[in-house]
Amino acid sequence: MIEIRNVTKTYGKKKNTFTALDDISIEIPDGASVAIVGKSGSGKSTLMHVMSGLDRPETGEVVVDGENILALKAKQVDAFRSEKMSFIFQSFFVQGNESCYNNVSLPLEIAGVPLKNRRKKIERALADVELGEKIKSRAKDLSGGQKQRLAIARAIVTNPKILFADEPTGNLDSVTGDAIEKLLFDYNRKQKTTLIIVTHDIDIAKKCDMVIHIKDGKVASVTGDKR
Amino acid sequence: MKTLDIMKRAGRNLRQAKGRTILTSLAIAIGAFTLTLSLAIGEGARQYADELLKSNIDPQTVFVVKDESLVGGGGGAPGLSSNLREYGSSTTQFGGATFKALNADDIKTIQNAPGVESVTPTYLVNAQYLQVEGVDKKFTTDITVYDSTVKAEAAAGSLPDLGQQIADDEIVMPEAFVEVLKPGAKASDFVGKTITLRLVRLTEQPSDAEIEAAFASGGQQSVQELFEQEARDETFRIRAVSAQSSTSFSASNGLFISVNKARELSEFLTADTDQYQKYVSAVVKVKEGEDPKVTADYLNGRQMAARTAKDLQGLIFTIVGILQGIVAGFGALALIASVFGIINTQYISVLERTSQIGLMKALGMPRKGVAKLFRYEAAWIGLIGGLIGSLTAFILGLLLNPFITETLELGDNTILIFVWWQIALLLLGLIAVAIVAGWLPARKAAKLDPIEALRTE
């Protein structure tokens, strides 16, 4: 469960302040698939950053699994993120010169998983995204869709409780994008992982359990909250 | 994140930018190369100097001179100080230079110094020419006292045991003379042959008044007599031909005669002149078990300059140290330049990899971990550069050593000696330098805002 209570985030100083998030409160149940939609500059990305502890709002609370991450020190937030969260980005951010194996290994290394336990997890994650054959290939030799699948493998290898996806299909053609979507929703259903997608794409939003519309830093509407 | 994982990742990151890594480490390699060579030269020179002293000087020996400048003390380095010296009856000429000399009283003082076993003044024996049995030509050479404290190798004939002098009618000839005397001859051909030295007594130039007086009394005949110098022939039997050695000075030039003979001839040559019983220097043998330092200190306090074998070693080592320092200085300069190279490269690397850094941070890598990654990359650059430089220096040393040894005629000695622990320490130092250089870029990477870094627009 992610609870956001009265969060306000502003950028800039004094006269030039810009309010990215304006007194937002949301609750996201465990295992839900959630779309955060809104125009660019509406604050949807900032909301994601706040939820993941990458960004610190001035006021409010962000409670993840009963823990107010704003009260934690930077180091503890890092450890928390490493343990419970994962990310997928529009531009993949895979390390082109590293092999698929080493790309997927990175979050395990950061989490301090011992070397001997890594290989199995990496192989399984790559198999889950159908890249089992490419384990030794370098990431830059993959196609766009394969790169995003690799990014998904990297995201799921640590068995995260929350998976953030920032425009995951934004750089892909519709066929490949659909495949990536399917992969994410399947994973969300099977593993009961909370999936939070930041997107422009209404089609993706429609497939989610819950859609949060953000407009000018405020929650315009929350639909599909099934509880 | 575990250190080993960070190190591996750092290594892979560098491999992915091979060209840049190699170029950056080359700057360090130049420094490492120079420093490795300077260490090797220092070590080689020290060992060579040590070998040189060991085969030439008995550690129980103290050298005594009257003139401080001869041993490089007091009046500054010889050659740099003024060569103009006040003339006095206690000065002596040697090699064209005038030095204050030790007189009979000084020798007595030395004999009474603590720990002294024997004193051998350096007798100057200048033969006008010498003739070797079976060779028609006349030659000139230096004649010195046979040094019984150092065992020399004989190429032919036999040399006495350590501490034993040769007999008064015996002479030892260096191997180098053989070719000059009779091309193609063997050293053994000369053993048992005789050498005759023509000695001419030093006389002072007659003054004009004396010449006039002689002319007035006996005419032309008397003047000729006045100029006629007293001469004497001395014949020796060649006992041995000493073998050529790259470390022993004494074996390579000049003839050796016994102490007694040297004294006798020296006194004959200088009789009735003001150089009679005046010596440039004296060699003191200190009793076994006694500290030569004590003897030297005693003599230094009595208007003489005394140096122990250790002092001489120190003098040579100081010179070696200075030379080594100069070479090392260039290495250090190259290193300083390479520091800026590393800073620059790593800054560019941070800029290039902002998204990678952002991703790692998003995945929960703490600031420290990011900083470590970049510091280790710098450390790798240092290690690679160090290895390239040291290995190049080592290989070059192996290739050049025989050539240097041959050119400088060092015999069995090599001048570039690589000591593994010195190189290991050097590598560690270089890694440390590289890490320091990588500090600022690493800090920049650690401070990077992941949100900014991951922005795609």
At B362-398, the pLDDT tens digits run: 999 999 999 999 999 999 999 999 999 999 999 999 9
**Minimal CA–CA distance to B34: which of B401, B288, B328?**
B328
Chain A contacts in chain B segment 367-396 (CB below 8 A): 367, 369
| DSSP 8-state secondary structure symbol assigned to residue B134 | T
Cα(B14)–Cα(A103) distance, integer angstroms: 16
Torsion on CA atoms A69, A70, A76, A81, rounded to nearest 10: 50
Dihedral of CA atoms A114, A115, A116, A121 in degrees, nearest 10, equals: 90
Is residue B128 within 8 A of residue B200, CB to CB? The reply is yes
Calculate how close chain B gets to A97, using CA atoms only, in Å: 6
CA distance A161 to B284: 90
pLDDT at B75 (0 to 100): 37
CB contact under 8 A, A82 and B364: yes
Which residue is it, tokens 């050659």?
B79
Q: Parallel, antiparallel, or unpaired: how do β-strands B194-200 and B127-132 relate?
A: antiparallel
Q: What interhelical angle do B3-16 and A100-111 show, nearest 10? A: 150
Angle at the Cα of B126 (from B120 to B127), degrees rounded to 5? 130
Chain A's closest residue to B6, CA to CA, is A109
Q: Which residues contact A91 (CB under 8 A, 6 or more apart)?
A: A171, B355, B456
Mean pLDDT throughout B19-24? 90
B112-169 confidence digits (pLDDT tens): 888 888 888 888 788 888 888 888 888 888 888 887 777 677 888 888 887 788 888 8
Given a cut of 50, is residue B74 above it in pLDDT? no
Min Cα separation B441/chain A (Å)? 20
Q: If we measure between CA atoms, which residue out of A204, A227, A184 comes closest to residue A28? A: A227
What's the confidence (pLDDT) of residue B70? 61
In the predicted structure, residue A48 carries a pLDDT above the cut 80: yes
d(CA B279, CA B287): 23
Residues B356, A93: C-beta atoms closer than 8 Å:
yes
Mean pLDDT in residue range B159-181: 84
| Interface membership of B7 toward A (CB under 8 Å) | no
Specify the pLDDT at position A110.
93
- Do B365 and A86 make contact, defined as CB atoms within 8 angstroms? no
Chain B interface includes A177 (CB < 8 A): no
**Distance set, CA B427 to CA B36, B336, B438 (Å):** 10, 15, 16
User: Are the Cβ atoms of B12 and A81 closer than 8 angstroms?
Assistant: no
pLDDT of residue B262: 87
Q: Is the pLDDT of residue B80 over 50?
A: no
Q: What is the DSSP string of B169-213?
A: TEEEEETHHHHHHSTT--GGGGTT-EEEEEEE---PPPPHHHHHH
- Substitution target from B363, B376, B452 for chain A, most A beta carbons within 10 A: B363
Residues in chain A closer than 8 A to B16 (CB atoms): 97-98
Residue among B1, B367, B450 whose CB faces A54 most closely: B450
Cα nearest neighbour of A105 on chain B: B5
pLDDT per residue as tens digits for the range B247-289 = 665 545 778 888 888 888 888 888 777 778 888 888 888 888 8
Q: What is the pLDDT of residue B73?
A: 44
Does the pLDDT of residue B35 top 50, yes or no?
yes
Give B199-248 pLDDT, tens digit per residue: 887 666 667 777 777 777 777 777 776 666 678 888 999 888 888 766 66
In whole angstroms, what is the distance from residue B330 CA to residue B344 CA?
22
pLDDT in tens, A149-169: 999 999 999 999 999 999 999
The answer to whether residue A177 scores a pLDDT higher than 80 is yes
Among residues A3, A5, A8, which one has the least CA distance to residue A59?
Answer: A8
**Contact status, residue A212 vs residue A219, Cβ threshold 8 Å:** yes
Tell which wins on pLDDT, B95 or A180: A180
Closest alpha carbon within chain B to A98:
B12
User: Residues B401-429: what's their mean pLDDT?
Assistant: 87
Banded model confidence at residue B78, pLDDT cuts 50, 70, 90: very low
Residue A227: its pLDDT value, please?
44
> If we measure between CA atoms, which residue out of A80, A95, A88 comes closest to residue A185?
A88
pLDDT value of position B227: 66
Q: What pLDDT shows up at residue B294?
A: 86
Where does the pLDDT of residue B308 fall: very low under 50, low under 70, confident under 90, or very high at 90 and above?
confident
Residue where the block lists tokens 């009856």? B89
Rounded distance between C-alpha atoms, residue A102 and residue A127, angstroms: 15
Query: For residue A56, is pLDDT > 50?
Result: yes
- Answer left, alpha or beta for residue B269, where phi above 0 means left and psi between -120 and 50 means alpha: alpha
- pLDDT, residue B423, reads 93
* Average pLDDT score over residue span A41-70: 90
Listed range (B32-46, B170-184, B325-339, B374-388) with the worst mean pLDDT: B170-184
Can you tell me the distance from the alpha carbon of A106 to that of B363, in angstroms, rounded to the nearest whole number? 9
Residue type at B160 in one-letter notation: P
- Name which of B311-320, B340-349, B414-423 the model is least confident about: B311-320
* Least confidently predicted of A100-104, B45-49, B360-364: B45-49
Mean pLDDT of A110-136: 93
DSSP classification of residue B102: B
Shortest distance between the Cα of B319 and any Cα of chain A, in A, equals 53
pLDDT above 60 for B89: no
pLDDT of residue B82: 43
Q: Name the residue in chain B with its Cα closest to that of A90.
A: B456
DSSP string, B10-27: HHHHHHHTHHHHHHHHHH
Which one, of B88, B65, B196, lies nearest residue B135 by Cα? B196
Collect all residues of chain A within an 8 Å Cβ-Cβ radius of residue B451: 49, 54-55
